[in-house]
Amino acid sequence: MERCGAVVSSVLAVVLVLQLGLIRIMAQQEQQTGLAGKEVILSCKDTSHQRDSTCTWKYKYKEVSSTIISFSRSNIFKGKAPMTHRSELKSESKQLKVSDLRLDDAGIYTCACNSPAVSISLHVFKLTVSSNGHLLANEDLELTLMQNSSHSQPHLSIELFNISSKIVTTEILQNEAPQKYILKLKQLKATDSGTWMCHVYSNSPLINQNISFDVKVLGFGEERLEIMYTTVGDTVILSWHLNFRKIEWKEGFIGKLNWEPQGKAAIHELLDFNVTTRQELHKTKKSNHIWFEIPEKKTDSTIEVKIPKVQLNHSGRYQCQLEINSRRIWSMKALVVMQVSANPVGPLSRGGKMTLLCQVSGPLPSNAHLLWERVNGTEMEIKKSKQHEAKVEVNVSAPGLWNCHLMENNNTKISLNYTVEEAHVWNSYAVIGAIIGASVLVIGLACVCIITGMSWQRRRKRAKRIAQAKQYLLEKKTCQCQRRMYK
């Protein structure tokens, strides 16, 4: 038992001595990290302060050592180390600048003047991004992180921060750790474009390094499938916004817009387009369909189709797709058109019936339905379409204003009105009109009669008076003649 204890304590002592030695070595050695592709500046800590001393920067990996550069106040000699041609001396400060750093540049760098050498252990990280960070929407991104140093490499903890500096959870493959880690970011969106950050951390040796990388996700601003509702006769504009200008995408690509009419298997190509490396968008109208227009715009990054006076047969699926190096993405808009009609058309006669039909061009999603509603009239009435039915009918026997709503999650998306007019209401007005008209006519006629009658009577009276006067005059003459004869 005692012997065992002695062995343990002597082992402990050896470990302690070893550790102390290590700490002494570490104290002389600084730790610095560098990133592949970037530059690193190493400082020469010359303690001698002799003006004319000759200093030498050396590189060592495992046991192999070589000179990078050797210099005095008047001379510079280049060595044969692998990074010599990428190294530069800042003669005033004696700093060594190594540019375009490589994973192989990891190792011990020493700067020795007359005094004992000061060494720096350079730890190099290299982050590679799949497709150079250029993706199409919904594609996955793969990141590979590698490290190299002259010591055994530490196990790293890695975190990713998105463009909003929020931690993003990823799957980290550690099968080649600690030299190599592979991270996967799944289904990136157009809005993920920007500068991301990879944070690398280790406790011993202490590493706390941020590595930034750029991501460009080419795509459409909106969701992959959108349903648009409209009513017959309206003008509708279908548009797809491409983000190539915003993310400064420099590669050229092509694309097209297809239309699949509702209920038909055919696919019509409406237009095709291309985007040049100088970010110019060219569109070409493909079909001889005259029912749609392509609005022209300056500094355009939108694929747009305008349909004036929409008809039921314009409904269907409009798919915009783009293609680059045989990789493809698409975004679709389903156009649903609503129409109301009556059978029979025209005003409703007293005691008659008519059927009001409200229909949409295609099947409705499960969260949507149609609803007939009497807005105006004697009593409130409502009729809802059955689940998955694209139409709803009501039988109407009284006049009033009807409204058909397309509801999605209890919200009205679109509505159309239909006014049922009453035939007999219209007739009675006509009758009243006719009666008033006739009365006026009769009164008018009567007046004319009376007036003509009165004037006729007056004329007759005057004639009678004249006749009487003539008679009187005649009688008077006869009388005078008789008197003259008697004289």
Ligand X SMILES: *[C@@H]1O[C@H](CO)[C@@H](O)[C@H](O)[C@H]1NC(C)=O
Does 175 participate in binding ligand X (rule CB under 6 A)? no
Q: With CA atoms as reference, report the closest residue to 328 among 456, 476, 136, 465.
A: 136
Strands in 266-326 per DSSP E: 268-275, 281-285, 302-307, 316-324
Cα–Cα dist 8/16, whole Å? 12
Q: Are 209 and 33 contacting, i.e. CB atoms less than 8 angstroms apart?
A: yes
Cα–Cα dist 251/211, whole Å? 25
* Among 41, 163, 177, 324, contact with ligand X (rule: CB under 6 A): 163
Q: How many helices, marked H, and strands, marked E, lie in the chain?
A: 2, 31
R_g (Cα) of the chain, nearest Å: 50
Nearest approach, Cβ of 12 to ligand X (angstroms)? Answer: 34
What SS3 state is found at 101? coil
Cα–Cα dist 221/405, whole Å? 29
**Contact region with ligand X (CB under 6 A), list: 86-94, 323-331, 371-379, 464-472:** 371-379
**Interaction pattern, residues 46-85, with ligand X; x per rule: CB under 6 A:** ---------------x------------------------
Nearest approach, Cβ of 312 to ligand X (angstroms)? Answer: 7
Q: With CA atoms as reference, report the closest residue to 365 among 385, 351, 340.
A: 385
Nearest approach, Cβ of 443 to ligand X (angstroms)? Answer: 32
Does 395 participate in binding ligand X (rule CB under 6 A)? yes
Report 463-482 residues binding ligand X (CB under 6 A): none
Does 162 participate in binding ligand X (rule CB under 6 A)? yes
Q: Are 194 and 163 contacting, i.e. CB atoms less than 8 angstroms apart?
A: yes
Report 199-228 residues binding ligand X (CB under 6 A): 199, 208, 210
Helix (H) or strand (E) holding 441: helix 423-486
Q: Which residues of 391-421 are buried (b: 16+ CB within 10 A; e: fewer)?
A: ebebebeebbebbbbbbbeeeebbbbebebe
**Contact region with ligand X (CB under 6 A), list: 130-138, 374-382, 431-439, 441-449:** 374-382
Does 402 participate in binding ligand X (rule CB under 6 A)? no
Does 168 participate in binding ligand X (rule CB under 6 A)? yes
Cα–Cα dist 355/396, whole Å? 6
* Among 35, 173, 177, 197, contact with ligand X (rule: CB under 6 A): 197
Does 423 participate in binding ligand X (rule CB under 6 A)? no
CB count in 10 Å sphere of residue 49:
9
**Would you say 113 or 238 has its CB closer to ligand X?**
238
Q: How many Cα atoms occupy the beta-carbon half-sphere of 340 within 13 Å?
A: 21
* Among 174, 195, 397, 417, contact with ligand X (rule: CB under 6 A): 417
Name beta bridge partners: 341.
Answer: 357
Does 106 participate in binding ligand X (rule CB under 6 A)? yes
Nearest approach, Cβ of 460 to ligand X (angstroms)? Answer: 58
Does 410 participate in binding ligand X (rule CB under 6 A)? yes
Name beta bridge partners: 384.
Answer: 371
Nearest approach, Cβ of 401 to ligand X (angstroms)? Answer: 5
Judging by DSSP bridges, how do beta strands 118-129 and 29-35 pair with one another? parallel
Nearest approach, Cβ of 177 to ligand X (angstroms)? Answer: 12
Nearest approach, Cβ of 206 to ligand X (angstroms)? Answer: 11
Nearest approach, Cβ of 274 to ligand X (angstroms)? Answer: 4
* Among 103, 172, 177, 294, contact with ligand X (rule: CB under 6 A): 103
Q: Are 333 and 316 contacting, i.e. CB atoms less than 8 angstroms apart?
A: no
* Among 99, 341, 376, 428, contact with ligand X (rule: CB under 6 A): 376
**Would you say 10 or 195 has its CB closer to ligand X?**
195
**Would you say 53 or 227 has its CB closer to ligand X?**
227
Which tokens belong to 356?
A: 């009001």
* Among 230, 243, 361, 403, contact with ligand X (rule: CB under 6 A): 403
Q: Match 């009276």 to its residue by tokens.
A: 461
Which tokens belong to 276?
A: 């040049």
Report 285-314 residues binding ligand X (CB under 6 A): 291, 311, 313-314
Number of residues that bind ligand X (CB under 6 A): 43
Q: Match 């210099």 to its residue by tokens.
A: 71
Residues that bind ligand X (CB under 6 A): 61, 103-104, 106-107, 148, 161-166, 168, 179, 191-192, 197, 199, 208, 210, 274, 282, 284, 291, 311, 313-314, 355, 375-377, 393, 395, 399-401, 403, 409-410, 415-417, 419
